Amino acid sequence: MNPEQLRDASLLDLFALEADAQAEILNAGLLALERNPGAPEQLEACMRAAHSLKGAARIVGLDGGVRLAHAMEDCLVAAQGGMPLAAAHIDALLQGTDLLLRIGHPPGGDPDWSEQAGRAEIDAVVQRLNSLDGGGMPAQPAATDAPAPAPVHAPAAAPPVDPEPAPAAPIAAHAKDGHERMLRVNADALDQLLALSGEAMVESHWLRPFGASLQKARRQQARALRAADTLQQALREAQDGAGAQALSAAHAALAELRQLLDDGHQQLAARLDEFEHYDHRATRLARRLYDSALASRMRPLSDGLAGYARMVRDLGRSLGKSVHLELSGAGTQVDRDILEALDAPLAHLLRNAVDHGIEAPAVRAALGKPPEGVVTLHARHNAGRLQIEISDDGAGVDLEALRRAIVRRRLASEDTAARLSQAELLDFLLLPGFSMRETVSEVSGRGVGLDAVQEMVRRVRGSLRLTQQPGHGLHFSLELPLTLSVVRTLLVDVAGEAYAFPLGRVLRATAVARGEIEQTEGHQHFRHEGRAIGLVSAAQVLQREGADAPAREQVPVVVIGEGERTYGIAVDRMLGERLLVVQPLPAALGKIRDIAAGSLTDDGTPVLIFDVEDMIRSVEKLVSEGRIEGVRQGAAASVQARARRVLVVDDSLTVRELQRKLLAGRGYDVTVAVDGMDGWNVLRAEPFDLVITDIDMPRMDGIELVRRIRQDAALRQLPVMVVSYKDREQDRQRGLEAGADYYLAKGSFHDAALLDAVQDLIGEARP
């Protein structure tokens, strides 16, 4: 042994990386060989892994690792030569694998551990491996001095190693498939990269409104050119009169001005085209950068499952049971933070399945089941969420014993417990401190575990559900977000500000007719899927003054919660679905009631993301105190208190001002927009009772604007009037087919016609 080499931390780190990678191969292969001892591909993989570890240990100078890996390799070579692998062989090989991991990650970081404190343990395992004959029994009693394999209660036998080491310099790691290059990157640096890419994506959207202002400048310049042409023509007509020389000079100056304007207009048009191409490329590049940075946080679920199969096997053996774990969907991608949060909960659920679910071999044989039990873990993506199913083929929960435990712990009376359904009974298993065991063992009985699993699931905005079918064991279903860095949300407007509901916590987004809102004992509710759902205003929950709501017969409602804790939250408007980058709130603010985090939309608008569980508690407090305000009456009062709002969309300043003055003079609240795109943006930000639009406009014409309004769930009931110079029948038909409620030709336009049409559509300015 070369002590100089052993003290070289970088060499020991390299061996640790090798040990981590090869131990994973050995664990998986040996567990497969335990069930199918003659599998040649598994024998070959394990033999190569042991050989690689022997070579790595020799290079680093770890003599204990060389001897141990060599003994394991000899055992596997013998198996390739026809020696049957018995349980004793597998136990010894697994124990050797654990020791190789400890050599790579020595206790206390002592590089001399394998030659000093750990030497006796290594020698004992080497002797045990060398003493095993073809029958799998020790050839001499000395082998009994080696410690028996201890039950493993954690996913990994080796001491935990930080998967994201502190040094920022990347260290090459091994790729399992030989093609993928892996680098270890400092976690803080990766988080900063993701934050910067999110900011780049938001900043790139600044280009679009800037381009719109350039378009406006271009239109203004075009009007200046037309004005110069008109003035030039007037000068020509006046040239025959007195002062012909002065007029000629003015004409020449005007011609020069006209030429300069024309040149500037052409240059602006060319630059604008270039800018629009740049805008498209920059936005696309920012999105690709953000998607790539986000993908770098995603890891296959298998990264967090390493060691679970070994844990299930060893725990079963310690309890006198034969059981193995079946994994499917291990390649499912999940965020690093979710993966780390899942470690302890998944380990507990698997231990719970082995201890409580799988029966002893004799019991299984009496029931006609195979002697070996099966625990199944299945992962998949479902509707943008991570779905994990854990089940076993054991006896499941004895519901009658569960009822007795509930009564014994005074959680319910005998009469109440007798009436509980299966789903209600199983929910008791999630209570803190609840256990069906009367005695405490190393594995269970303390009443901790399932409640911690549920707490973790709720913390990451997920859900946990328990089901059971007779004779098929207990089934756990976990639904979690794929990432905590971004969240798919439902964006809503409350009192003029944007808020977001995590989509995974939304049961339904709907619109409730005001006539369908019922009032009972001071509380309001509506019918949803055959049951009464309490209705509360989001503005009241947030203690905000309610904004003026549009005069609509439908109330936008977001249904949240589960079971008996289901409520409808009335909002001012639905703004659609958005994918938001989660920005934690400053720690100095502490916990803000009903709010989980913040974010920015693509255009830079700040958004607060609701803490749905906290919001449900706030609603329950309002209900218990009898302080629920009426949604229907409050909305009606707001309509009475304001004038009806009209949005006028026209690219002609003259027409806009004419219509604005006419409507404002009659008492309507009027807002103007310079073209269809401007009008569409205004409509998404503010509520209106009527839209009056032209057809021929730059960027977005009136027909497209009407189509978008009719396709938007929140706007499709909004009345729309088209006012256009086109008065042909086919033009009128085109506008009405797009979804307009009224078509008025500018050629026959007069004050009374416009005002009468507006009154027909939405009534007087003030109801």
Nearest to 307 by CA among 271, 346, 280, 277: 346
| Position with higher pLDDT, 510 vs 149 | 510
Average pLDDT over residues 550-577: 82
Choose from 216-225, 557-566, 580-589 the range with maximum mean pLDDT.
557-566
Q: Are residues 730 and 662 in the same domain?
A: yes
Asked if the model's pLDDT at residue 3 lies above 90, the reply is no
pLDDT value of position 602 = 66
Which residues share a beta bridge with 364? none
pLDDT at 638: 42
**What's 337's domain CATH number?**
3.30.565.10
Q: Is 512 helix (H, G, I), strand (E, B) or coil?
A: strand
Question: What is the number of helices (H) and of strands (E) in the chain?
Answer: 25, 25
The predicted pLDDT at position 501 comes to 92
Q: Who wins on pLDDT, 737 or 704?
A: 704
pTM: 0.53
The percent of residues above 90 in pLDDT, for the chain, comes to 3
Question: Are the beta carbons of 546 and 537 closer than 8 angstroms?
Answer: yes
Q: Label residues 316-350 b or e (16+ Cβ within 10 Å = b).
A: bbbbebbbbbebebbebbbbbbbbebbbebbbbbb
Structure tokens at 692: 């009056």
Does residue 440 carry a pLDDT above 50?
no
User: Is a pLDDT exceeding 70 seen at residue 414?
Assistant: yes
Asked whether residue 296 is domain-assigned, the answer is no
- In eight-state DSSP terms, residue 626 is T
Residue 520 falls within a domain, yes or no?
yes
pLDDT of 569 = 92
Q: Is residue 316 part of a domain?
A: no
Band of the pLDDT at 558, cuts 50, 70, 90? very high
Neighbours of 180 (CB within 10 A): 8
Cβ atoms of residues 149 and 121 within 8 Å: no
Going by their DSSP bridges, the two strands 606-610 and 497-502 should be labelled as parallel
Rounded to whole angstroms, the Cα distance separating 453 from 351 reads 13
* 727 lies in the same domain as 631: no
Average pLDDT over residues 123-136: 75
CB 546 within 8 A of CB 642: no
Both tokens of residue 101?
Answer: 């991991």
- Asked if 536 and 568 touch (Cβ cutoff 8 Å), the reply is yes
Average the pLDDT over 175-190 and give the result. 55
Nearest Cα residue to 685 out of 611, 601, 587 = 601
pLDDT tens digit string along 451-478? Answer: 778 878 877 777 788 888 766 788 888 8
- Residue type at 288 in one-letter notation: R
How crowded is residue 711: how many other Cβ atoms within 10 Å of its Cβ?
A: 10
- The residue that leads in pLDDT, 130 or 156, is 130
- 221 and 85 in one domain? no
Q: Work out the burial of residue 315: count CB atoms within 10 Å of its CB; fewer than 13 is exposed, 13-18 middle, 19 or more buried.
A: buried
Contact 20, 44 (CB under 8 A): no
242 or 37, higher pLDDT: 37
* CATH code of the domain containing 553: 2.40.50.180
Q: Residue 471's pLDDT is what?
A: 65
DSSP string, 298-365: EEETHHHHTTHHHHHHHHHHHTT-EEEEEEE-TT-EEEHHHHHHHHHHHHHHHHHIIIIISPPHHHHH
For residues 120-146, average pLDDT: 63
Where does 529-645 have alpha helices with state H?
538-541, 612-624, 631-641
Shared domain for 636 and 649, answered yes or no, is no
Give the domain range for residue 670: 643-762
Residue 315 lies in a domain: no
How do strand 372-382 and strand 322-328 relate by DSSP bridges? parallel
Q: Encoding tokens for residue 64?
A: 């204990």
| Domain assignment of residue 387, yes or no | yes
Q: Using an 8 Å Cβ cutoff, are 577 and 491 in contact?
A: yes
Residue 331 maps to a domain: yes
CATH number (domain holding residue 725): 3.40.50.2300
Mean pLDDT over the full length of the chain: 76
Smallest CA-to-CA distance from 381 within 498, 293, 267, 301 is with: 301
User: Last residue of a domain, which of 114, 146, 178?
Assistant: 146
Question: Domain end: 584, 611, 640, which one?
Answer: 640
* Lowest mean per-residue pLDDT among 24-38, 158-172, 386-400: 158-172
The larger pLDDT score, comparing residue 266 to residue 188, is at 266
pLDDT at 356 over 60: yes
Instruction: Compute the distance between CA of residue 315 and CA of residue 154 in angstroms, rounded to an integer.
Output: 10
Q: Residue 428 has what pLDDT? A: 82
According to DSSP, the β-strands at 531-537 and 720-724 are unpaired
CATH for 46: 1.20.120.160
The tally of CA atoms less than 13 A away on the side-chain side of residue 135 is 3
Give the mean pLDDT of 172-188.
51
| Co-location of 18 and 135 in the same domain | yes
Distance (Å, rounded) from C-alpha 416 to C-alpha 406?
A: 10
Q: Are residues 621 and 609 in the same domain?
A: yes
Whether 635 and 660 map to the same domain: the answer is no
Residue 691: pLDDT band by 50, 70, 90 thresholds? very high
Pairing of strands 531-537, 523-528: antiparallel
Q: How many domains is the chain partitioned into structurally? A: 5
Bigger pLDDT: 52 vs 185: 52
- The predicted-structure confidence for 58-93, as pLDDT tens digits, reads as follows 877 888 888 888 888 888 888 887 788 888 888 888
Is 550 a domain residue? Answer: yes
The tokens of 736 are what? 């009405």
What average pLDDT does range 313-336 have in this prediction? 86
- At 521 the pLDDT is 61
586-637: pLDDT as tens digits: 777 777 888 888 887 766 678 899 988 888 888 888 877 777 776 644 444 4
Report the alpha-carbon angle 44-45-47, nearest 5: 65
- At residue 480, φ and ψ (nearest 5 deg) are -135, 155
Sign of CA dihedral 5, 9, 12, 14: negative
**Residue reference for tokens 């009468």:** 756
The residue among 458, 481, 504 that closes a domain is: 481
Q: Are residues 198 and 230 in the same domain?
A: yes
- Structural domain includes residue 595: yes
> Based on the domain organization, do 622 and 692 belong to the same domain?
no
Q: How confident is the model at residue 486 (pLDDT cuts 50, 70, 90)?
A: confident
pLDDT at 631: 66
Per-residue pLDDT at 108 exceeds 70: yes
pLDDT number for residue 657:
79
Task: Report CA 275 to chain centroid distance, whole Å.
Answer: 34
Task: For 506-547, write each residue's pLDDT tens digit.
Answer: 888 888 887 788 776 667 888 887 788 888 888 888 887 655
Q: Is the pLDDT of residue 502 over 80?
A: yes
> Which residue is associated with the tokens 């025959």?
240
The mean-pLDDT minimum among 226-230, 456-460, 691-695 falls in 226-230
Model pLDDT, residue 369: 87
Window from 209-213, 344-348, 628-632 with minimum mean pLDDT: 628-632
Signed CA dihedral, 305, 311, 316, 319: sign only: negative
Is there a contact between 492 and 501 (Cβ–Cβ < 8 Å)?
Answer: yes
pLDDT of residue 177: 43
What distance in Å separates the CA atoms of residue 450 and residue 107, rounded to the nearest whole number?
A: 31
Helix (H) or strand (E) holding 65: helix 63-80
More confident residue, 494 or 221: 494
pLDDT at 578 over 70: yes
**% the chain with pLDDT above 70:** 80
DSSP state of 209: H
Q: How far, in Å, CA of 189 to CA of 183, rounded?
A: 13
User: Residues 551, 438: one domain?
Assistant: no
Give the Cβ contact number of residue 489 at 10 Å: 26
- pLDDT, tens only, 272-320: 777 777 777 777 777 777 777 777 777 888 887 877 888 888 888 888 8
pLDDT of residue 378: 92
CB 443 within 8 A of CB 350: no
Residue with tokens 């006896």: 395
Label each residue of 116-150 as H, E or C.
CCCHHHHHHHHHHHHHECCCCCECCHHHHHCCCCC
Q: Indicate if 656 and 625 belong to the same structural domain.
A: no
Angstrom CA distances, 284 to 279, 291, 579, 708, stand at 8, 11, 16, 24
| Paired strand residues for 435 | none
Task: Output the CA torsion 743→749→753→755 (10° steps).
Answer: 90
Say if residue 492 is in the same domain as residue 456: no
Residue 575 CA to residue 354 CA, distance in Å, equals 48
Q: What is the pLDDT of residue 179?
A: 45
Residue 148 has pLDDT above 50, yes or no: no
